Amino acid sequence: MRVRVNPIECTAQGLCAEVFPEWIALDEWGYPAVDGQPVPEQLVKEARRAAAACPVLALKLSQD
Amino acid sequence: MRLITDSGPSRQEHLDVHGPLPELGGAQLLDLVDAAGLLGRGGAGFPTGRKMRTVAAGRRPVVLGNACEGEPASSKDELLLGRHPHLVLDGLQVAARAVGARELHLAVHRDSAARGALDKALRERRETVTVHDVPGRYVASEESALINLINNGVAKPMFTPPRPFERGIGGRPTLVSNAETLAHLALIARHGADWYRSVGDPDEPGTALVTVSGPGVRHVVEVPTGWSVGALLTQAGLTDLQAVLVGGYFGTWIPAEQARGLALTHRDLKAAGGALGAGIVIGLPAGSCGVLETARVAAYLAAENAGQCGPCLNGLPAIAGAVHRLAVGPWNDRSMADLDRWLGVVAGRGACRHPDGAVRFVLSALNVFDEDVDRHRRGRPCAGVHAAAVLPVPRPPVPGRAA
């Protein structure tokens, strides 16, 4: 599974980074920088929570 | 030369020079384009045959010719459309037949000088081509922006996937091809793959249109791929240069001596840390200031962001502002750390490649003009800051602020 931000939808609310700080950091303007590597098994639950936490559903999970 | 001839723009003159377009079947055309080894001429250099096969495999595909030419320093597509519109339109027809498309579309810059010639040429033909007027913004001619404009009326890039070849106009697989690529197709259909490969680099064959610019110079030439950059510059009378910008505003600066020794192929330029892009070569004279020229273009690129993605709409104006202050002051050297950080944090985080291109362009400037950068950092800008502007920028943007 990989995590991706749709940068057009993203409005820098920052909930994803709050929920999943191991994988997502906010830049100085409040926008998420996401590790593009596959998410290790033990963090998949956090990834799902982060995607669910985004108020505009800008955080996408892909199964590849 | 092949594409650029003395022929006038009318259909009859076009047919007198090139002969009729043969009626080849789709599968035959696909094989032909593969064998010719045609690479797209819009900048990415992707193998056209491969792109066509992917689209041909989809349901109810359509074709979209891209004659928008968003790069300020490029004139090749406007020249083709204005002087040889039937080459582009023949190519669009060939592309449609190759992928099995029944709908033909063409995207043109709203204020293009070639629009009159295009309309006249269309009246001389039987097939229906839907022409789309595109606003002259830099990102508006990006392929997903064209699809967005056609589908939704908004000329801004979209989040991908899906890319247009998967889902484009009306959700259908769409082949998006640059006007010059289409022109080559028109001739490949007539003369075959061996003919196409008979000139140019063996791996990236054929001819290419290159827009060469510099002080007092702006022209389009057609050369075999692999032609020497040095020969192009000498032929244009561009001699006393410090650096060359290759690939346009998403391209890279290369020191003049190194650039002269390079061949115009994607392969050669990539190996030199650059890119061929849409065939744009700009010579910067020794008396100019590379930092200031870069600052002007960085400001333009910053103002041309689509306003959709945080890292780009925040990062590019910040970068442009810093480079501007480096060029003409006031400069606080603590800003260098900020500039380095911004250049590292923006690329790859937008929906399109606009921020990536801008970052690559600025990074290459800091690298190639390093001695000048050092002087500017110490508060001693070069005399070149007073030289006349060389890089063309459509309208004066305000550095540090997005449009």
pLDDT tens profile B7-38: 999 999 999 999 999 999 999 999 999 999 99
For residues A44-55, average pLDDT: 97
C-alpha of B18 from chain center: 26
Distance in Å, alpha carbon of A34 to nearest chain B alpha carbon = 9
Cross-chain Cβ contact B350/A7 below 8 Å: yes
> Which residues of chain B are at the A interface, by a Cβ-Cβ cutoff of 8 Å?
158-159, 308-312, 314-315, 345, 349-351
Decide if A33 and B349 are in contact by the 8 Å CB cutoff.
Answer: yes
Q: What pLDDT score was predicted for residue B397?
A: 46
B309 CB neighbours in chain A (<8 A) are: 7-8, 10
> How far A8 CA lies from chain B's nearest CA (Å)?
5
User: Residue B399 has what pLDDT?
Assistant: 53
Which chain A residues have a beta carbon less than 8 Å from that of B345? Answer: 27-28, 33
DSSP B385: G
Nearest to A27 by CA among B5, B309, B334, B124: B309
What pLDDT score was predicted for residue B396?
A: 55
Q: In Å, how far is B309's CA from the nearest CA of chain A? A: 5
Split at pLDDT 50, 70, 90, the class of A64 is confident
Nearest chain B residue (CA) to A62: B161
The pLDDT of residue B1: 83
Q: Give the span between the Cα atoms of B67 and B82, in whole angstroms.
A: 11
For an interface test with B, give the residue of A11, A29, A56 to mutate (most B CBs within 10 A): A29
Task: Supply the pLDDT for residue B382.
Answer: 87
Whether the upstream peptide bond of residue B161 has omega within 30° of 0, thus cis, is yes
Chain B contact present for A63, CB below 8 A: no
Query: At a CB cut-off of 8 Å and minimum separation 6, what does B390 contact?
Result: B213, B214, B215, B282, B283, B284, B285, B288, B293
Q: Does A41 touch chain B (CB under 8 A)?
A: no
Q: What is the pLDDT of residue B381?
A: 83
Residues of chain B with pLDDT under 50: 397-398, 401-403
Which pairing describes strands B62-67 and B103-109: parallel, antiparallel, or unpaired? Answer: parallel
Comparing C-alpha atoms, which of A63, A60, A27 is closest to residue B313? A27
Q: Is A30 near chain B, with CB under 8 Å?
A: yes
Q: Residue B345's closest chain A neighbor by CA?
A: A27
According to the model, what pLDDT value does residue B249 have?
A: 94
Q: Does A55 touch chain B (CB under 8 A)?
A: no
- CA of B348: which chain A residue's CA is closest? A33
- What global pTM score does this model have? 0.95
